[in-house]
Structure 1
Amino acid sequence: MHPILKTDRLSHKYSSAWAIRDINLEIERTGIVGLLGSNGAGKSTTMNIICGTLNQTEGSVLINGTDLRQEPEAAKREIGFLPQNPPLYTDLTTDEYLVYCAELRLMEKTRIRSAVDEAKERCGITNVSNRLIRNLSGGYRQRIGIAQAIVHRPKLVVMDEPTNGLDPNQLIEARKLIREVAQEHAVLLSSHILSEIQVLCKEIVMIESGRIVFADSMDAFNNYVQTNSILLRLENPPASVELLRIKGITGVEFLTATQIRLRFEGDQDVMERLVAASVEHGWRLREIGLDKGLLDDTFKQLSSKSHQ
């Protein structure tokens, strides 16, 4: 069995500067792998090479065992791509657009109708089959973008910032859909937002300054990046002195009227004590989680350790 995606020493140079250097990735199964990096870290270059829209300077990309550079047509049949701004033709209906996308992927004509219907059902857009795309909401447009990426049933689906710019309801729906897609496809999801990667991905690859600085499971990442603060939201928060009475809490900072950052010492059992205190005193806890800090700080921490 070939890995669904394998890159070997992938490197690319713009003019005289290396954008990425020795990027080694391997995805062997379905699920979501997060590609995380700050703006300018090399994520887009990496994804463009993997999708075949940019030729690398050095290294190779294998899609299900097929070399993308040597056999681009065969390899690209196994790739679905959702750019940050979905490539929609807004003067077409949903059906017209998805049929067109299937034809671009050189699908057999006898398979196109059933493939389009399947993609629409999976993405929840059957009810807008005959609507012009320009008349649809941002949430529906994002779903159509995902549908075009899976209509030809690829093994690998690459998504660039797929939840960027969505409102909270659309965000929840998009996350649910991405998880469903990942049950049958390998998904490589790019983002510069750490919290988005944490919510969606089980594995994470971090790129900084064109190089991989971390590649492991999300659990390993959470254990690697230590924190001693908690973020929580209380609809009926108490005074700081009440929170400081909870064992392990050493500092209280109100970020807003309801959002609070707490410093703590010891293990993470303090979260259980916070939940219990909220129930007992009617603080109406709405959110609680470890504060992983600023993404830039995380990059600095990982980058410094990677060069030691």
Structure 2
Amino acid sequence: MKDSLVRVENLSHRYSVQWAVKDVSFDISGKGIYGLLGSNGAGKSTTMNIMSGVLKQTKGSIFIKGINLSKDPIEAKKQIGFLPQNPPLYVDTTVDEYLTNCARLRKIVPDKIKAAVDEVLEKCAITHFRKRLIRNLSGGYRQRVGIAQAIIHKPAFIILDEPTNGLDPNQILEIRKLIKEIATDRAVLLSTHILTEVHAICDRILMIEQGKLVFSGATEEFDNYLAPNSVKVRLLEMPSAEDLMKTIEGLEGVEELGGPNYRLKFSDLNGAAECVVQQSVKHNWRLEEINLEKNSLNDVFSALSK
């Protein structure tokens, strides 16, 4: 953790008497997209607001490239870009005016402001809208402007709070593509409640429930957090569920899916497929297909939320 880009140590925060976040620690080692998951009220927004410097934590420390965010906030915030769930846009300014003002607020040297604005306009594919009032932009392009202000000072760490919320399917795909491009040379912490989005773009996942960190690992580890316990089979002779329960060892349940298709649930899948094949041959069920089923992301999320 010594060489971490971001280090969160024993982070806790209390509103009045209730702890929103309690003793959370994790590490963001380098570039890539990190998904932050959690139920409503789990502590995600509190964590992101503290990490962006918007909120002062009750306990714990946050280091950005080794800089303590509480003790040296100005230097630490030079490395942070933040897009809240509702983009902080001044809708009566043009895109150019707004981003120029953002560059000034980020202490970019005056003679480099225009170049910085031009660069993010191109990066976010909004150059052709630079003279348009922000209020006249669609939701998707407003999000692009919001992302542009978050990266204009070239921070090493970017926090995006539900960046695709309220967008149509095409806009969502475009914003996901943009986030992937941004993450090629920096770290992005992405909060979302859309599990398919996590699977589509995140490299690693952090999950907070009831203010505590309940999972930290690669997306593949999240997928495989629950061991599968069922297989789908296609038996052309269509035996009854009762016959299957009697003859297949370890079988705990049968779900008839229509026609010759069944879902077989086991307490332990070790050797289950071999047993199904043997019994099919023995009883002439004419097994045509057998597939191991993976647990859905919703199943994993539900299990970790308990």
TM-score, length of structure 2 as denominator length: 0.79
Q: For the Cα contact (< 8 Å) 1:123–1:143, is it kept in 2?
A: yes
Quote the offset at 1:16 in angstroms: 1.2
Q: CA 1:15/1:229 → structure 2, altered by over 3 Å: closer, same or farther? A: same
Residue aligning to 1:75: 76
Q: CA 1:139/1:300 → structure 2, altered by over 3 Å: closer, same or farther? A: closer
Tell me if 1:87 matches 2:91. Answer: no
Q: For the Cα contact (< 8 Å) 1:67–1:75, is it kept in 2?
A: yes
Residue aligning to 1:195: 196
**Cα distance in 1, alignment partners of residues 294 and 92 from structure 2:** 46
Quote the offset at 1:228 in angstroms: 5.9
Pair member with larger Rg:
2
1:127-183, CA deviations, whole angstroms, 9 ceiling, x for partnerless residues?
A: 111111111111111111111110010000000011111101101101100100101
**Cα distance in 2, alignment partners of residues 91 and 63 from structure 1:** 34
Q: For the Cα contact (< 8 Å) 2:62–2:70, is it kept in 1?
A: yes
Quote the offset at 1:50 in angstroms: 0.3
Residue aligning to 1:141: 142
- Tell me the matched-pair count: 263
**Cα distance in 1, alignment partners of residues 203 and 227 from structure 2:** 18
| CA RMSD in angstroms, aligned pairs only | 2.8
Residue aligning to 1:25: 26
Quote the offset at 1:225 in angstroms: 2.7
**Cα distance in 1, alignment partners of residues 128 and 190 from structure 2:** 27
1:234-262, CA deviations, whole angstroms, 9 ceiling, x for partnerless residues?
A: xxxxxx999x89xxx96438xxxxxxx98
TM-score, length of structure 1 as denominator length: 0.78
Residue aligning to 2:99: 98
SS at match of 1:302: helix
Q: CA 1:264/1:293 → structure 2, altered by over 3 Å: closer, same or farther? A: farther
Quote the offset at 1:20 in angstroms: 0.5
Q: CA 1:154/1:35 → structure 2, altered by over 3 Å: closer, same or farther? A: same
Q: Which amino acid aligns with 1:120?
A: L
1:170-228, CA deviations, whole angstroms, 9 ceiling, x for partnerless residues?
A: 01101100100101220000112222211111100110000001111011111113456
Tell me if 1:16 matches 2:17. Answer: yes
Q: For the Cα contact (< 8 Å) 2:106–2:153, is it kept in 1?
A: yes
Q: For the Cα contact (< 8 Å) 1:159–1:189, is it kept in 2?
A: yes
Structure 1 runs not aligned, ≥5 long: 231-239, 254-260, 271-288
**Cα distance in 2, alignment partners of residues 28 and 10 from structure 1:** 18
Tell me if 1:159 matches 2:164. Answer: no
Identity level (%): 52
Residue aligning to 2:63: 62
Quote the offset at 1:17 in angstroms: 1.3
Tell me if 1:292 matches 2:277. Answer: no
Residue aligning to 1:301: 303
1:77-115, CA deviations, whole angstroms, 9 ceiling, x for partnerless residues?
A: 110001111111111111111111111111111221111
Residue aligning to 2:187: 186
Residue aligning to 1:252: 257
Q: For the Cα contact (< 8 Å) 2:227–2:295, is it kept in 1?
A: no
Residue aligning to 2:126: 125
Q: Which amino acid aligns with 2:257?
A: V
**Cα distance in 2, alignment partners of residues 92 and 3 from structure 1:** 38
Structure 2 runs not aligned, ≥5 long: 240-253, 274-292
Q: For the Cα contact (< 8 Å) 1:34–1:201, is it kept in 2?
A: yes
Quote the offset at 1:45 in angstroms: 0.4
Quote the offset at 1:30 in angstroms: 0.7
Quote the offset at 1:292 in angstroms: 1.2
**Cα distance in 2, alignment partners of residues 196 and 190 from structure 1:** 10
Q: Which amino acid aligns with 1:35?
A: L
SS at match of 1:224: coil
Q: For the Cα contact (< 8 Å) 1:227–1:292, is it kept in 2?
A: no
Quote the offset at 1:65 in angstroms: 0.8
Quote the offset at 1:302 in angstroms: 2.3
Q: CA 1:48/1:241 → structure 2, altered by over 3 Å: closer, same or farther? A: same
**Cα distance in 2, alignment partners of residues 104 and 5 from structure 1:** 23
